[in-house]
Structure 1
Amino acid sequence: MSRTRLLALLLALVALLVAAWQRSRAVELLSQDYDEATYLPIAYTYAGMLDQGRWRDVGELRENFEHPPLVKLLFAQAVRATSAPEPDWSSVPMGQPLPDAARPAFRATRRLSAVAGVLQVGLLATVNPLGALLLAWDPYHAKYTSHAYLEAVPGLLATLALLAFERARRGAGGFASGWLAASGALLGFAAAGKYPYGLVGGLTFLPFLVMGARTRWRVWATFAAPTVAVFFLANPALWSSPFASLWESVTFHWDYSHGEHVRTSALPWYQPLAFLVDPSLARSREGLYLTAFNAFALLPLAGVGMPRAWRERPVWAVGAVVGLAFLLVWSTKWPQYLLLVLPALCVCAGLGARTLCGWGARLVHRARA
């Protein structure tokens, strides 16, 4: 094994160990966050339906209809598999240590998120081990893949879709049908977990399809058919009235992004960038987050690595640009939305670190010469 491959393997192993350590601590130490107070009671409602065999009722539940039920159903399966009793939600404080009676419910669901987060780091290690290490210790990724949020599973599926689409691209604009269909199916799954992951992924793939497929309808059908089919099959909320339910969710998000809650938050359009360069989360709890390095280095490294990413991994370069553009344009600026773009940014930043190392090596060589 060459020295370069051995170093890449060691970096990948370190990234996985850091990701697992960081998220296992976060699962145990983080207090209840706001969205968990919504998703976990719904998970227990779904668990009760599944226990009673009321499968048809799953798609009829209107609480939190703006988000598809897939991840909440996975949370329901987690509490069923572990027999975690439902806590008295009124006794679970926000921002305070979890009561012992509530820990089994939070532990079962958060571990599901954490496993998906660690797997995402592992997948990224196959693309760029340095980027995987950056993602492993990123405080936002660690936090929101350790809460019982909707981010981790769709993020994992979106990462798989990017990898499959990258494999599908051939020279001269052609596509491998099997990998293209797989990327579409994975994108449909991601969208069925949380809609923005499907939207950002689709916008990332669109320019490559336009340039490569153009008017070749079979290529478009190979990608679009499994995307739509899987999205529909994995989203029980759409089964009874697909178009009306989907339109209701879309209009809810649009209204919410322009509603009172978002307006009173008064977050500026550049808030996602402000989150990325703010070290306060990493320093918010001593001993929980490993480092604030990304707040100072992630965006500069990604900027340095973008030209190389465009040459070597263009799908990830476009994913970073599309993800950032979406976050800046979309009115809702909550920090968990950063997970839409963090994997692609970390790939670009990892390539930026390699570029800087190459510049440094050339400078040393010239100095010696």
Structure 2
Amino acid sequence: MPTAPAVSRSRAGRVVALLAVLVVAVFAFCWRLGVETSSGDELVYRDTAAAYLRGDFTRNLEHPPLAKLLIAAGHAAGGGSLVADRVVPALCGVLTAVVLFAVARRCAGFRAGVLAALLWSVLPLAPGVVPAHLVRRATLEAPLLLFSACAVLAAQRVAQRPTPARWALLGTAVGAATASKLTGAVTAVVVLALLWEERRRWRPALAGAVLAGAVSVVVFLAAYLPFGADAPSAVRTVVQWQLDHADRGAVQSVAGEQYRFPPWWSPWWFQAEYLTWPGLVALWGTALVGAVLTWWRAAVRPLVLLLVAFTAAVALSPLKLPQYHDVLVPPLCALAAVGFTRLLQRRGVAGAVVASLAAAPLVVVAAGHLADVATTRPADYRLAADLLRERGLAGPGDAVVVWGDAEALRRLLPGSGIVTGTDVDCSAAALVVDPTVADRMAGADVAAWVAACGAGTVVRADRLAVHLLP
């Protein structure tokens, strides 16, 4: 039996470990939030949140309102600054680390909990054009990922002791995830794991599931209360818009090819873009180990089922935007932490060797990501705007053609002559090319501009190429 001093040292060590991970999480998600990096989606959601505060609920009806309402709360509290708009999503990132700690600890103990929070905090989740963790921007994903993790924790608590209050909390988490982004509705799949656990007492379990479902619907609809009499129309619009979006597809560049309906493996291609292929294999491999070695535990099954459901959703969906695979990351980090823990607990050196080999590429990726956070600086469109201003090309009489996020540049250069389009126009003063957007634009051919107008001068602005035309 451990002595009192030994128990005290153990507790102190755990407190230190938790505080250290919390510091890392706060740093990773909150450091230098006010540095400008562009994102078309972020501009839309920031504008929508500001409109909500003015009583205008007519914008961005294609997505549910909860995440934008949360961004609006930060906007109001902080005076509308960039930091104010980003602080709520950043705090959601920190809270997700806390929830994942609790989830993984229930699966495989304290060490797994610490590893889950650490993996979530130090690994990049940077799909799309901005090399920053997704929750460092004012977008819908941070609340979605937090509430989906909360749904797993709530399901674990129901599996431990099913009570009406715990079923209701589960419904609240599912409803909040869905009210942040419709993808969150997939979190309801955790109820299946609970029905399986309680199959011998199926009647109270079914009643609990119905209660959770009813609460989730109420929470989802409650997010539309500020819309007043327009709420029913807004709910119909969000569903219809998403169905229409799936029908028309969205052009994406995957492995050098353009697809309106990308192949099923596209989410993993996007994930490997920032995790690297060795890191991707290590993370998914250890998650598989965690799922297989701990499947017998009731606390693990909701986590595994959620990851499987989200995996099926992103693979089968006709739409595969780079950020759509973000829903995989919280359960993936938790299961990978469980896998690392079980490998380290195995007798002999084989488990430790496998864990070390899997950890190596993830450590390299994490170190690079934290270094990027530490050196966060203005990027892309901010640099391009400064360059154009310095060259005297930011006036209304200077036509600047943008193959990228024209609105981002227009906001940085108000009153300037920002235009779009791929037709060759030799009267333009400059051509700004964002390769992450231009590779999806029909007719975006720089060589044709050079052949018709001359080479001019090319200046780099982070990932952007600014062609100063002769």
Is the pair's TM-score, using the shorter chain for normalization, greater than 0.5?
yes
- Give the letter for the 1:302 counterpart: A
Partner residue of 1:302 out of 252, 264, 287: 287
SS in 2 for 1:278: helix
Partner residue of 1:34 out of 25, 35, 40: 40
**Higher helix proportion (structure 1 or 2):** 1
Alpha-carbon distance in 1 for matches of 2:95, 2:280: 23
Tell me the equivalent position of 1:228.
Answer: 217
Alpha-carbon distance in 2 for matches of 1:193, 1:211: 29
Length, aligned pairs only: 321
Partner residue of 2:89 out of 113, 123, 127: 113
Alpha-carbon distance in 2 for matches of 1:243, 1:209: 32
Matches within 5 A, 1:66-81: 66-81=62-77
Aligned in 2, Cα 1:3/1:274: closer, same or farther, shift over 3 Å? farther
Tell me the equivalent position of 2:148.
Answer: 158
- Give the letter for the 2:208 counterpart: V
Alpha-carbon distance in 1 for matches of 2:342, 2:138: 37
Alpha-carbon distance in 1 for matches of 2:242, 2:156: 30
Aligned in 2, Cα 1:254/1:211: closer, same or farther, shift over 3 Å? farther
Matches within 5 A, 1:50-69: 58=57, 61=58, 63-69=59-65
Partner residue of 2:99 out of 123, 140, 148: 123
TM-score, with normalisation over the residues of structure 1? 0.77
Aligned in 2, Cα 1:6/1:130: closer, same or farther, shift over 3 Å? farther
By relative contact order (CA 8 Å, sep 6+), the higher-ranking structure is 1
Tell me the equivalent position of 1:137.
Answer: 122
Indicate if the aligned counterparts of 1:75 and 1:109 stay in contact, CA closer than 8 A: yes
Indicate if the aligned counterparts of 1:204 and 1:322 stay in contact, CA closer than 8 A: no
Aligned in 2, Cα 1:192/1:41: closer, same or farther, shift over 3 Å? same
Indicate if the aligned counterparts of 1:69 and 1:236 stay in contact, CA closer than 8 A: no
Matched, 1:249 2:245: no
- CA shift, 1:2, in A, is 7.5
Alpha-carbon distance in 1 for matches of 2:63, 2:331: 24
Alpha-carbon distance in 2 for matches of 1:364, 1:77: 47
Matched, 1:212 2:198: yes
Alpha-carbon distance in 1 for matches of 2:330, 2:13: 21
Matches within 5 A, 1:1-369: 1=7, 9-25=15-31, 27-29=33-35, 31-49=37-55, 58=57, 61=58, 63-84=59-80, 104=81, 106-126=82-102, 127=104, 128-140=113-125, 143-170=133-160, 175-197=162-184, 199-209=185-195, 212=198, 214-216=202-204, 217-236=206-225, 240=229, 245-262=234-251, 265-266=258-259, 267-279=262-274, 294-312=279-297, 313-359=300-346, 361=348
- CA shift, 1:31, in A, is 0.7
Indicate if the aligned counterparts of 1:164 and 1:182 stay in contact, CA closer than 8 A: yes
Tell me the equivalent position of 1:87.
Answer: none
Larger displacement relative to structure 2 (225-234 or 108-117): 225-234
SS in 2 for 1:228: helix
- CA shift, 1:358, in A, is 2.4
Tell me the equivalent position of 1:97.
Answer: none
Superposition RMSD in Å: 2.9
Aligned in 2, Cα 1:356/1:211: closer, same or farther, shift over 3 Å? closer
Indicate if the aligned counterparts of 2:65 and 2:224 stay in contact, CA closer than 8 A: yes
- Give the letter for the 2:290 counterpart: G
- CA shift, 1:77, in A, is 2.4
Indicate if the aligned counterparts of 1:278 and 1:295 stay in contact, CA closer than 8 A: no
For structure 2, the 5+ residue unaligned runs are 1-6, 105-112, 127-131, 353-470
Alpha-carbon distance in 2 for matches of 1:323, 1:297: 19
Which digits, 9 at most, give the CA deviation of each residue in 1:248-291, with x for residues without a partner?
Answer: 322211221232534785132111122333336x8xxxxxxxxx
Larger displacement relative to structure 2 (147-156 or 23-32): 23-32
Alpha-carbon distance in 1 for matches of 2:304, 2:291: 6
Indicate if the aligned counterparts of 2:191 and 2:209 stay in contact, CA closer than 8 A: no
Alpha-carbon distance in 1 for matches of 2:9, 2:344: 16
- Give the letter for the 2:220 counterpart: F
- CA shift, 1:76, in A, is 2.1
- CA shift, 1:200, in A, is 1.6
**Higher strand proportion (structure 1 or 2):** 2
- Give the letter for the 1:251 counterpart: Q
Q: Work out the percentage of aligned pairs sharing the same amino acid.
A: 26
Which digits, 9 at most, give the CA deviation of each residue in 1:128-177, with x for residues without a partner?
Answer: 2211111111211762101110111222222222211210114xxx7222
Indicate if the aligned counterparts of 2:178 and 2:220 stay in contact, CA closer than 8 A: yes
Alpha-carbon distance in 1 for matches of 2:350, 2:46: 55
Tell me the equivalent position of 2:425.
Answer: none
Alpha-carbon distance in 2 for matches of 1:113, 1:163: 20
SS in 2 for 1:169: helix
Indicate if the aligned counterparts of 1:40 and 1:148 stay in contact, CA closer than 8 A: yes
Aligned in 2, Cα 1:311/1:9: closer, same or farther, shift over 3 Å? farther
